[in-house]
Structure formats: C-alpha cells, structure tokens
Amino acid sequence: MVVTGVVLVAMALAVVVLAPRVLTRSAWTIDRPRTALLAWSLAVVVGVVGFVLGIAFVVLADGPLSDPFAIGDSPTHGFNVGVAVLAVVAFVVAVRVRPGSEHRAVREAMRQGAAPHREIDGTLVAVVEADHALACAVPGRSGGVLVSSGLAARLQTDELEAVVAHERAHLQQHHAAVVAVAESIERAVPWVPGARAMARSTRVLVEFAADDAAARRVGREAVRRAVLVADATSALAAIRASRLT
C-alpha cells in the first residue's frame, strides 16, 4: 500500500513538473491547439488523481484492509484520514469554477432583448452600440455571440462571418468552461509551477482552436483579415494572423 502510494505521488509530481515544460516548448501545439488542450487536461487529471490516490494509500496503509480507517487501533489514524479528506474537499472547493460576471450581465441583456439580434447560421448574434471593436461569446442556453456596432461597421461581410464563426467555435467547444477551470486551478495552487503556464497557454490555445474552426468555415484569409481588424495592436493577434497565412 505504502509503495503504491509513493509511486502514485511520484508519478503525479513528475507529470505536474514535466507536462508544462513539454507543452509550453513544443511547436506542434501552435498547429494542433485542440490536441494541446486535451494534453493539458490529461496532465491535470493524472496529476490530481495520482496525488490524491497516492496520499490516500499512504494514509490508509497503517490500518488493516478490513478496517481501513482503524480508528480503534491507532488514536491518530482517524485524524490522518480526516485531514486527507479535508484537504481533498478544500482543493475541490478552491478549484470551483467561477463564470465571469460580465457574462451574466451580457446574457441578461440578451435575454431581455436589450440588444438587437439576428440569427446567423443558427447562432444568436447581438449587436451592441459601441464604437470600440468588441466580439465575445456568451455561453449558456440564452447565450450567443455579441458584436459591437463599431466592429461590425469596420468588417467586410466575410470578415464578420469569420468573427461569428470564431465566437461560435468558442461556444461549441466550451472554451469558457475550459478557461475557467484552468484559471480556477491557477487561483487555487498558484505555487504549483505549471498552474500559471497552463492558464496562460489555455487562453491562447482556445483562440487558435476557434480560429481553425472559423477558417474551415470561411477560409483562412477572411479569418486572418478579421483578426487584424478586430485587434490591430496585440501580440496575440499578430501571432494568430501569422499562423493563418
């Protein structure tokens, strides 16, 4: 039991240390963002499950299997198990997903019909009056895609379709949840070396994945132009545009 536990913890630690190094230094992640996102998820599952199971094995090892909690035999055993269970519960609570409050406000506005909206390819697209370039995906049953009038005015038709296809991909591939989980883990265990790298990578990889989905729909060139119109200044937009050429 103790050996199994130690092996599991060692395996979990190896994954937590090595996965961020491999995944942040591999060029293939730029071309295969969805595979990279899957690899990050696997690393989290193996890391967390391995660590929790390993600790549980070690803690339970000094009690007989027929009475794993062995409270009668060892005065500290029940306490140890309690601490382990509490630690797991604390981790789960700390890692709870917090949806963005701005999404709630936008969803409420869409539900009340505050913004004029139309359906493009089965997706609810709302246009809000604002001069600055803004496009975002609002997850949820009454969600959809939000585009500012300022951005819509600057885009050609195929570029607007590219923006809508990009935001729809965020919705269909549940990117808001993926990013929320990565950011919650970063908040819960900021001292774990890979947590910050994972949150940063996840935010970039979901943009690449959404660009790829949009490119399959409207072509890479329209997506590339739309990215540069929507965001002419950021380094991420420059990288997104260059990987689409």
Size of residue set near Zn ion by CB under 5 A: 2
Which residues, including other chains, have CB under 8 Å from residue 19's CB and lie 6 or more apart? 39, 40, 43, 47, 194
Q: Which is nearer to Zn ion, 80 or 173 (CB)?
A: 173
* CB of 9 or CB of 169, closer to Zn ion: 169
Binding range to Zn ion, per CB under 5 A, among 55-63, 123-131, 205-213, 217-225: 205-213
| Nearer to Zn ion (CB atom), residue 145 or residue 210 | 210
Closest C-alpha to 35, from 201, 197, 241: 201
- Tell me the closest approach of the beta carbon of residue 130 to Zn ion, in angstroms: 17
Query: Residue written as tokens 């895609």?
Result: 145
H/E stretch holding 244: none
Closer residue to Zn ion, CB minimum distance, 110 or 223: 223
Among the residue ranges 72-80, 184-192, 200-208, 221-229, the one whose residues contact Zn ion (CB under 5 A): 200-208
Shortest separation between residue 67's beta carbon and Zn ion, angstroms = 54
Per the listing, tokens 């774990």 go with 192
Residue span binding Zn ion (CB under 5 A) among the ranges 19-27, 117-125, 208-216, 221-229: 208-216
Question: Which has the closest alpha carbon to 159: 215, 210, 205?
Answer: 215
> Which string of DSSP letters, residue by residue, matches 31-67?
H-HHHHHHHHHHHHHHHHHHHHHHHHHHHHTTS-TTS
Choose between 152 and 192: whose C-beta lies nearer to Zn ion.
152
Q: At closest approach, how far in Å is the CB of 137 from Zn ion?
A: 7
CA 37/CA 209 separation, integer angstroms: 9
Comparison of 186 and 207: residue with beta carbon closer to Zn ion: 207
Stretch that binds Zn ion, among 43-51, 98-106, 202-210, 214-222 (CB under 5 A): 202-210
Q: Kindly state the smallest distance separating residue 112's Cβ from Zn ion, in Å.
A: 25
What is the per-residue DSSP string for 130-164?
-SS--EEEE-STT-EEEEEHHHHHHS-HHHHHHHH
Give me the least distance between CB of 236 and Zn ion, in Å please.
10
**Dihedral angle, C-alpha 153, 158, 163, 166, nearest 10 °:** 180
Q: Residue 135 CB, nearest distance to Zn ion (Å)?
A: 8
* Chain positions contacting Zn ion, by CB under 5 A: 207, 210
